[in-house]
Chains A and B, each alone.
Chain A
């Protein structure tokens, strides 16, 4: 299957009989199966957010960045972490490619649009703009990797330190502002995405469940935790200048 075939799955009858339909491998070909894969990769990325945030909280330790630098040294040298990096990259790639594929397929399912449509009357905006919020998160991801990951992994020793790299990057109001907007949109992606993943996996038995409260951790507290970092360094830089 080439790339164009991947994004243009056809409408022709893919299963004409039950034969093979009950094979787990064929999951990928069905609507439900594809959504399940988007959901699983999405939730996997959510677990990554937890790990990433908890480590980065070391930035707030008042020790001139020693703890954080030790942690980032560990993250870039530990073999287990290096292995997980590939798993994570695959998770992102899978989520993004499947997300785009599902979105493209869905767009073709209503070739003639309504003259008058009032989607705000029946559904939330967050649910309808998943592709837009996801795409912003993608741009953010590229910029983020370029600023922090590439130098730490490929540019040899970071001078003077990872902590310095982070604090100077966030001292730039434009860069910090871009972060805040992106994180808000990531939160918005998860505002719908987190509970949606459970619905897709069949784990949301009622309209209001515990999941909707756990979801708050992911769409509100985690993005807010990440957002605290640029705010903190922006403020610190401002304060240093003022002195």
Chain B
């Protein structure tokens, strides 16, 4: 395949960035999107040029490091996959592909396609944990949890913290991420004790980091690689109101 890439290049946090065009031939449809970028970088390195910086780690959709805005969509044109799970067969020979970093005030660009997502870490630090020892797996198994509840908690726990929800939202709202993190703990017995404090602190942290307010456009659910449902946002609102009133 022949592909024209238009990639956002930005030297560092404080520099101006711009789209730069690159031509690639011999792209295999079986390559993943990130392998295609590896190929581009190999070529750039051979020519002694600065390679394109992008985040990645597991390359199997579980770590949440990768995240690119591809042709106007978070994680590209497919639903339910992270950028690393996207393959070149989703594009056509001769296509032009625009690749940009996540854009949100709380996600400043560090270099090229890499953004600083430590705002997410700080939201977790604010309350996304359980502060008492809950024992090992055998201890956990002694506490009965109804199957539907366990499933609901598990589905929320599938969130990999990639930030696509923020990237896709017109308001750069982090509600889906926070909803998933609050719900996964609020649903389980071990999380009950700190339920109230947790939701208040995490929402307060989310607000102070400069994420937008949720307009319920549901763009987050459509772009989430783990297809986290917006019903968790309703649950978050419920948790929050219960803690507040």
Contact = CB atoms under 8 A, between A and B. Distances in A.
B50 interface: no
B222 A122 contact: yes
A108 B210 CA distance: 9
Interface stretch (B65-73, B83-91, B155-163): B65-73
Interface in A107-137: 108-119, 121-124, 127-128, 130
Nearest to B172: A109
Contact of B215 (A32, A106, A114, A122): A106
A132 to B, nearest CB: 13
* Interface SS of chain B: mixed
A105 interface: yes
A27 interface: yes
Interface stretch (A161-169, A204-212, A227-235): A204-212
Given A106-B171, A109-B211, A121-B222, A199 B217 contact: no
Given A11-B208, A31-B213, A22 B244 contact: yes
Interface in A211-243: none
Interface string B144-175: 00000000000000000000000010111100
Given A110-B105, A202-B241, A35 B73 contact: no
A30 B219 contact: no
B203 interface: yes
A199 B168 CA distance: 19
B217 A106 contact: no
A205 B103 contact: no
Interface core residue of B74, B105, B106 (most chain A CB under 10 Å): B105
B123 to A, nearest CB: 12
Interface string B224-244: 000001110111111111011
B196 to A, nearest CB: 7
B176 interface: no
Contacts of A196: 215-216
A30 B204 contact: yes
Contacts of A21: 200-201, 204
B19 interface: yes
B207 interface: yes
Nearest to B196: A22
A128 B183 CA distance: 26
Contacts of A192: 216
B204 A15 contact: yes
B216 A199 contact: yes
Given A36-B241, A114-B103, A127-B218, A11 B69 contact: no
B234 A106 contact: no
Contacts, number: 165
Interface string B86-114: 00000000000010100111100000000
A113 B104 CA distance: 8
B55 interface: no
A18 B218 contact: no
Contact of A117 (B6, B72, B196, B222): B72
A22 B234 contact: no
Interface string B182-200: 0000000000000011001
Contact of A30 (B19, B203, B233): B203
A154 to B, nearest CB: 37
B171 A30 contact: no
Interface string A6-29: 000001111100100111101100
Contacts of A117: 72
A106 B169 CA distance: 10
Residue among B74, B204, B239 having the largest count of chain A Cβ atoms under 10 Å: B204
Given A31-B207, A123-B218, A114 B100 contact: yes
Interface of B: 6, 8, 19, 69, 71-74, 77, 98, 100, 103-106, 168, 170-173, 196-197, 200-201, 203-204, 206-219, 222-223, 229-231, 233-241, 243-245
Closest 9 CB pairs of A and B: A202-B238, A118-B72, A109-B212, A122-B222, A106-B171, A202-B237, A123-B217, A127-B217, A15-B204
12 contacts: A11-B105, A21-B201, A27-B244, A32-B214, A32-B240, A109-B172, A114-B100, A118-B71, A119-B219, A123-B222, A199-B216, A202-B238
